[in-house]
Structures are given as C-alpha cells and as structure tokens.
Structure 1
Amino acid sequence: MHHMQIAQRVFNTPLMVDPAKALAFLAGLGPRITGSEISVAGLEIAAEDQVEATLPARASLFGEDLAQRQARNGSQPFAVVNGIAVIEIAGTLVHRGAWIGQSSGLTSYEGIAAQLSAALADLAIRGIALDIDSFGGEVAGAFDLADRIRTARSVKPVHAFVADHALSAGYALASQADRIILPRTGAVGSIGVVAMHSDMSGALDQKGIAVTLIHAGARKLDANPYQPLPESVRARIAGELEDLRQLFAETVAEGRGQRLDTQRALGTEAAVFRGEAAVFAGLADEVADPVTAFRAFAAASRGTSTPRGKAFLMTNIPEDHAAPTAAPAANPAPAASLAPEPAPKPAVSAPQAEAAPSPEAIRAEAAEVAQVCAQAARLGVSIDAADALTRGIKPEALRAKVLADLAARSDAAGIIATAPAAGAKESPIVAAARKSAATSR
C-alpha cells in the first residue's frame, strides 16, 4: 500500500468525516504509516479489519474515457435497475484515484462524476439513484461534485437513498439530490470539518532521532509533524476550518432550498440526526425502507426518459417535499412553548397592513400542521392538531417544540450527538440533549 499517500490525505488537511470513523483506520495502519503506535488524546479507537484491494477502472476529471470504454464493452460504469442508474457512494470519499470504489473501501469523486456524466448521456436512463453509505472523506473535490449533482437534477431526477449513513462529505453529496430517503436507523448530517495534526516529536526523542528542518518562508513549516503544533498555527487552521464549514452549509442550502437554509445548517453544529428527527430538522425528506422507496422512484420515473432540459442548468430551486424547519433561536427559552408568537408591530415607513392570507394559503398551512402532528405522534410526541389550529400556531413552531422534546429525552444522545468546535456557539437542541444525558447518568 502507498502509506505516504495515505498519510498525506489524513494529516494536516481538512476532512469532512465523522471523527471516530476517521480515526478508526489509524489504529490498524498507524504503525505502518509512522513506524510506531499512534495515540489519540481523548478518544478510544476500536480497530477494524482493513481490506486491501483495488478496482482497475480509471476515471478522469477532463475526459470521458471511462464511459466510452464501458460503452464499447456494451456496459455502463454503474448498475441499471428498471431504467434507473444506481451510483454507489460508499466508504471513505477521496478526491482522485484509479478506481470507482466498491472493494477498495474508497470511492473517488472523479469516479462518481464519471458515472454521473455517463448516466446523463444515456437516453435509456430515466433517473439517477445515489446509493449512499459513507461517513465522509476529503474536502478537496467534494463541493465541485456537489455542484455537478445539483446541476444533473435539472436534466434527470436524482434521489438519494441513505443506507445507513450520509455524514459530512457524504451528506454534502446527498443534500444535492431532489429528495433524501433514509431508514428508521439511518443517520445524516455532521455538517462540519475536522483536521488532524500528527506530533511525532516525542516518538523521535525516544528513539534518539533529531530532525533538522531547513526552510525558506516563515510559514513553510506550519503544522509539520516533527514539532508540537504552535497555538498561532492552531488558530489559523481553526479559522480555515470555520470558512470551510460556512461553504459546507451554503452548499447544503443550495441543494435543500427552503427545506434547510444556511443558518439552520450552521445551527446544527455538526450534529447527527437519525430517522424522523432528520426529517423534522430538514436534513431529509422521508423515512422509508430504501428498497421500497427505490421501487417507487423507478415506477414514478417511467415515461420520463427524455431529459427535462436541453443543457446542464444551475438551479437552487429544488422540488420541495418537506416544509422548512424552524431555525434554532439565538437565545432559546428553557422549553419550547405552544403559545403563538405576537404579531410584529408595523414599521413606521410601511403603515399599510399586510394582506390577509388567501383561503388556499390557510388550507395549506392547516394541512401542514396536521402533517407535523402526525409525524410527531410517530415519534411519541403528542400534539393536539385542532388546538394548534385554533390557537394559530405555525408549523415551524410545532417542529421546534418536537425537536426540543426529543432532545430532552434521556435517549436524546442517540438521536443527536457531537460536540461543537472550540469557541463555537452550541446549538440549543444539542445543549438540551447533553444536559439530559448528563442528568440520566
């Protein structure tokens, strides 16, 4: 294996990956990469067996060699089921690589892009299904591929089927689909970025090895593995990660539209949401068995084999299958209230009162309130729909109450878990979950 390439992709580079999963493989490969055991402060790593394998398929960012070679062989670089191209996004996601994924345990963004292009070019393909089970991977290349997926859905329908994880970079890709479906145990989110620094100075001292670094340029040696990480360098890296998190949230918002805007994406504080909680938070659209949902997608796509547009078009107006969720309040009250919010005072510069909502808008809001109450009942949260309608409570307020109730349960840590970055404002939902979990211990 190319251990130096692995080390370059792990250390001193931003990663959108679940921290525990990112560190798990280091337990097995650490001695091979660094020549000694690796210890990670504050985390216990469960070692997993590593499979060394390769897939001799090659893709390119600039050419269509992969699709053309597959076409000459009478096949496609993806599975086709009932006219739907199934593109697998599994394992650790990397920018470049001479593989598509599968047995290597890695999936490259360039390989996914090649499959996406081939699916769009094939007139026999009526839709695209993203089969996702990934804890994330590299930042490099992730956002460009996310843009391509969002563009693709203006040509053919794209649905993301999560079985069972779409976290970090995996969620960045899933969020660009028209619709996200996950099972009851499925997990999505982790809208955040992490970087790891390897400090080998102690190990080198024990072995009597002295490394002399000769450089030109004051910042040339920033975050090198032979010295402890200076606080100034740590702060700079943290700032870069925060900029990337902002880009991550903006990319998610481009894909999700009104279902999850930038501020609500940032407000999750990289939390992970499961099942119905993910739908309530706006990170997913439906909880269903992925196989059944895929069959429904294939049946609905019949008769739509011609592209919906003549060219790739950038769009940030997705089909909304779930109403927007409420953004976390900056200074939340201890518990969510069902009392309707007081009407805002009219501005001095705008004396005219707002027009009364149309009967159609009132009926649509009532239907949305009923849907929220039905979803809440499946989660074990009881809400009187008739009372909510009588009191004029908005759907967004109902969703906020349900999320607060879920976070207050003793098992909330199983629904929402992860800690905010140092210095970042903690989400009120995560704070309630952490307080409840601490009380129950």
Structure 2
Amino acid sequence: MSDLFPRLAQRIFNTPLALHPQKAEVALTALAERLGIARVARADGASLAFDEDEDLGFDDEARPCRAGYDLVGGVALIQVEGMLVQKTGTLRPYSGMTGYDGLRANFLTAMEDPLAEAIVLDLNSGGGEVAGCFDLADLIYASRGLKPIWAICSECAYSAAYALASACDRVTVPRTGGTGSVGVVTMLVDYSKAIERSGLAVHFVHYGSRKMEETRAMHGGVKPDLLERIQRDVDVMGELFVATVARNRNMSVEAVRAQQADYYLGAAGVQAGLADAVMAPDEALMALMADLDAAAPQ
C-alpha cells in the first residue's frame, strides 16, 4: 500500500478540520477500506458506501510538477482545489490536495510579479485543515489594496476554502456553486468495540496522565471529559473562524455565527453576505480584466 493513505488518515482523524460535512464523508469513505475499516456509519445510522471505481482525486502517483500559477491577461490564477492541508511541498494541487505552503508561496510571488496586475484564487474545494488556514487568510486580507485580489469559485468554496475566499476583495460564485460552511469539526474514531470483538487488548505505557489521551481513547473508549476538552478547542477555533469571516466580509460576528456553519448555493450565498455576485468563472475573469483595462492609464 502506498504511504499516501496513512498520511491522509493523519490529516483527517483527531485533528481540527474546517471541512464541508459532505466532503468529510467522501474522504472518510475513500479511506475506510484502505485503512481496514469495513464500513463507515453516519451519525444518523446510515452506512456510507464507497464505489471503488470512483475517482476521488487521491491518486497514488504524483502529478508532474508545474510552475506555481498561470498568467492570463495580466492576472495570476492560483488553483485552490481538493483537500486543503498545511503542507504538501508543491506549488500546485497534488493528489487531490492543495497545501497552504504552496498557496502562500504562489500568492507572495504573484504579489511581487510585475506581470501580475491582479490575483485570482481559482477555487473548487470543500475545505480542509485548520492548521495554516487562518494565517494565510490574514496574509491575503492584509494585502488588500496592493493589487486586486478576487476569489472566483469555479464550483465551491466551503469552510477552510471559504476562509481564504472571504479574505479577497471580491467573491464570485456560479449558479450551481456554493459558499459558506463556516465551522470546525474534529473526528475522533473509537475502535474499542472492534478491538474487543477481535479478542485483542492494547496497552499503553506512558508518562503523564494526559499523554496520548486521544490515541488511548480510540483503543479503549472515549470518555466524556475528553469530548468536553475537544469541544472547547473546537469552539475556540470556530469562534476564530466566525470572527475572521466577519472581519473579511464586513459583517457582524452575530450574523456569521447565526448561520451555524450552513452552506449556500449560488445566489443564496450573495443574500447571506458571503459572496458578491453570481457569475460563471469565465464571466468573472472577464469582468476583472475589464476592471483592469478601465483602471489602466490612457
């Protein structure tokens, strides 16, 4: 087995995620069989089935490396797609993931690129890791006014992807695309019953009562006090997310919090204050180029 799937599991389980729920389910089911999990059950009791022939973007083979962004008519187009993770070591989306490290490098390079008159985040992502997300969103927000920065959703910008989109000067979304899902989730898997049925016992020898607490819970059962502690951490990060979007979109914290991490399709996102216009991606790019032409010295 490629080491890709264990690495994906490390990024998905027991770590805070700003991820659209449906995208979390897809990632979880894609990993299930490869990690020895026979079936995955949703909170409502329904089983999640996975089609082995379905292409979810988690390729074992690496894509060939390319330059970090494309220049089209003086606009630097930076791809933001798939699962967002803290680091991939690549400038382009790789194996269904985009790294905040690559996005930061691309963004800073484009800001200094004399041929790039404007920057576009070309978004199609359900979100991803919290780690690295808000630092990058702050960088984008702090760069407003230096060059036009647009978030153009080729389809969706949910959760962590929306945090980045909201930091841009302008957000556009197609009619069938979506924005929002301003929330945080941590998935803690409890293997204790499966281990008990198998006749196995797992023993941890450790120093410090809180050492490997979440790992021990996975094998020995999740205690209420651990869930309470994780909930506190998730609440802190959730409030940071809400405050960030409120600042970026000039909305009240109460208005963003009241959305309760809901997501919105097309024009509903504009009505909710999360997007500025419903536009097809090519239409949005042409509108940005028209703005650049209008602002150019005659």
Deviations 1:239-271 (A, max 9, x none): 1111111000111122112xx222211110001
C-alpha distance in structure 1 between counterparts of 2:261 and 2:209, whole Å: 33
Deviation at 1:292, TM superposition (A): 1.0
Structure 2 portions without partners, runs of 5+: none
Contact 2:39–2:47 under 8 Å retained in 1: no
Q: Which one of 210, 215, 219 corresponds to residue 226 of structure 1?
A: 219
Q: TM-score when scaled to structure 2?
A: 0.90
The structure that is strand-richer by fraction is 2
Q: Which residue of 1 aligns with 2:48?
A: 45
Matches within 5 A, 1:30-41: 30-33=32-35, 35-41=36-42
Structure index of larger Rg: 1
Q: Which residue of 1 aligns with 2:129?
A: 138
C-alpha distance in structure 1 between counterparts of 2:269 and 2:175, whole Å: 10
Letter in 2 for 1:19: P
Q: Does 1:17 align with 2:8?
A: no
Deviations 1:71-129 (A, max 9, x none): xxxxx520111000001100100001122343511000000111101101111110001
Letter in 2 for 1:295: M
Contact 1:87–1:131 under 8 Å retained in 2: yes
Contact 1:179–1:284 under 8 Å retained in 2: yes
Contact 2:162–2:179 under 8 Å retained in 1: yes
Q: How many residues align?
A: 286
Contact 1:252–1:265 under 8 Å retained in 2: yes
Q: TM-score when scaled to structure 1?
A: 0.62
Contact 1:123–1:305 under 8 Å retained in 2: no
Give structure 1 regions of 4+ aligned residues with deviation exceeding 4 angstroms: 303-306
Matches within 5 A, 1:380-391: none
C-alpha distance in structure 2 between counterparts of 1:287 and 1:146, whole Å: 22
Matches within 5 A, 1:358-437: none
Q: 1:248 to 1:302 in 2, by over 3 A?
A: same
C-alpha distance in structure 2 between counterparts of 1:44 and 1:38, whole Å: 7
Deviation at 1:285, TM superposition (A): 0.7
SS in 2 for 1:301: helix
Q: Does 1:27 align with 2:29?
A: yes
C-alpha distance in structure 2 between counterparts of 1:245 and 1:200, whole Å: 27
C-alpha distance in structure 2 between counterparts of 1:142 and 1:240, whole Å: 16
- Ranked by relative contact order (alpha carbons within 8 Å, sequence separation 6 or more), the top structure is 2
Deviation at 1:228, TM superposition (A): 1.5
Deviation at 1:157, TM superposition (A): 0.6
Structure 1 portions without partners, runs of 5+: 58-69, 71-75, 307-441
C-alpha distance in structure 2 between counterparts of 1:46 and 1:134, whole Å: 22
Q: 1:204 to 1:246 in 2, by over 3 A?
A: same
SS in 1 for 2:76: strand
SS in 1 for 2:38: coil
Q: Does 1:150 align with 2:158?
A: no
Letter in 2 for 1:8: Q
RMSD: 1.9
